[in-house]
Amino acid sequence: MSAPQQLRGVVEGFYGPPYRHDQRVRLVRFLADVGMNTYLYAPKDDLGHRRAWRDGHLATEWQRLAELRQVGASVGVDVWFGLSPLHLDPTDEGDRERLIEVFKPALDHGFRHLCLLVDDMPSEEWTEGGEQELARVHAELVNEWSSRMRGHVDQEPLGLLFVPLHYEGDPTRPHVRELGRLVDPDVGICWTGPEVCSEHLSADHTAAISASLRRPVVYWDNHPVNDGAMRADPHLLPLMGREPGLAAHAGGLLANLAIEPEASLLAVSTVADFLADPDGYDRDSAWRSALERVVGDAQDAAAVDALARLTPRSPLHRGAPPPESITEAIEQVRAATPDELPAAAAAVYRLVDDLGVVVQQLGRLRNRPLVSDLRPWARALDAQRVCVQQSCAALKRAIHAHDNDVFSDQLAAVELGSVRAAPHRVADAVLIDLAWACLHAAERATDAS
């Protein structure tokens, strides 16, 4: 039996602290609530999944995974067990046998959906051949794994997925075509699209990769994942850049989750809406639904919405402009004449007050796990807000008190550099630009006096 068509769900496949058991249970129940049917366990930094795969999982870990599978079964969500055997030599008979032995406990614990992952692994350790040789060796591995897994459950139906070494880019590359030709047709193959984190997934690209693989492609969609170089951003905003027509050629789509489990649900909700009705998907409507599902309370939702718009950067939202309210305040301060500076400073203070309300509300959300997930960005926003407040105070003092020493004391309290260098990005640092504009205006006012 091939992997079920139209997989609609998520993969916990990021580099970073794996989710806790209670967070996974919450996730699986949420997937059922929004009409999704798949959760793939594949956390890169879970030792039993990847780095220490030969040791297998502990009995307590199997107990939790089996419970998660049972929760999924009770709500209509298939829980897939994935294994990423780092440094496996697929040409070594002992390694291949160990791989089979490590997978068998999943079957013994009731799993009937399995995934073998060889992505992000060095290949030069065991072959010096080209792409076609890589594909041949991996296809032999996958086919043996597929046959042995089915034999272990007496040909009971299994869903099987494979994540190849090369999983993005040109759908006609030799490696991809050779995998399509050689891999057991009943095994689904995952693909991320034109890029590792693809801004767009088109129907044409989907048709091309499905043709090369000789089966409907299963997208491992790297959104809202925020590991590695993307760690500065929370990736909260709704799904975009996916053409409705891809559904006609794909076997499914799994959204790779962000490191923050509760915050991930915002994006996941919009992915669910797209998969439920690709032709009718509207990202603004999907975003409102996501806020209602995950956040609930209207005041809380307004604060989360504000933070999401202040942290828009992601592979799907490249070049997103900073909020107009901030850029307009910067221009007003820069262009102000001496007589206009008081009004410009007052406008900045109003903006600071509005941001203060957002920060306060983010700290008292009724969804407490979401408070924890968003806290790094709420703190970064508050630090930048305070910088603007201090800079505007220096401007106000410069306007009203013609005293260079007072201005210097005020300036010393503003630490723009350290705040700008904070690891979590908010508003692409334009709030720091606003603080800088206020300080320059204060200097001009002081010099003029």
Q: pLDDT, tens digit, for every residue of 386-421? A: 989 989 988 888 887 655 555 555 555 566 766 776
Please tell me the predicted confidence (pLDDT) of residue 142: 97
Q: Which of 253, 269, 154 is nearest to 198 (CA)?
A: 253
Strand, coil or helix: what is 234?
Answer: coil
Is residue 286 within 8 Å of residue 253, measured between CB atoms? no
Q: How wide is the angle at C-alpha 256 spanned by C-alphas 255 and 257, nearest 5°?
A: 105
Is residue 308 within 8 Å of residue 236, measured between CB atoms? yes
Please tell me the predicted confidence (pLDDT) of residue 365: 97
Please tell me the predicted confidence (pLDDT) of residue 4: 39
Q: Report, as ranges of residue numbers, the positions in the chain whose pLDDT lies below 50.
A: 1-5
Please tell me the predicted confidence (pLDDT) of residue 406: 52
Which helix (H) or strand (E) segment is 117 a member of? strand 113-117
Please tell me the predicted confidence (pLDDT) of residue 3: 39
Alpha carbon 73 to its chain centroid, in Å, reads 25
Helix 404-412 with 368-400: angle, nearest 10 deg: 170
29-35 LR contacts (CB < 8 Å, sep 24+): 29/71, 29/75, 30/265, 30/268, 30/293, 31/77, 31/268, 31/272, 32/75, 32/76, 32/77, 33/293, 34/268, 34/269, 34/272, 34/273, 34/293, 35/8, 35/272, 35/275, 35/276
Is residue 343 within 8 Å of residue 349, measured between CB atoms? no
Alpha carbon 447 to its chain centroid, in Å, reads 48
Please tell me the predicted confidence (pLDDT) of residue 2: 36
Q: Which of 397, 387, 393 is nearest to 356 (CA)?
A: 387
Counting Cα atoms < 13 Å in the Cβ hemisphere of 331 gives: 6
Please tell me the predicted confidence (pLDDT) of residue 338: 87
How, if at all, do strands 250-256 and 7-12 pair? parallel
Prediction pTM value: 0.92
Q: How many CB atoms lie within 10 A of CB 165?
A: 18
Distance CA 374, CA 304 (A): 9
Strand, coil or helix: what is 20?
Answer: coil
Token duo for residue 373: 């997930």
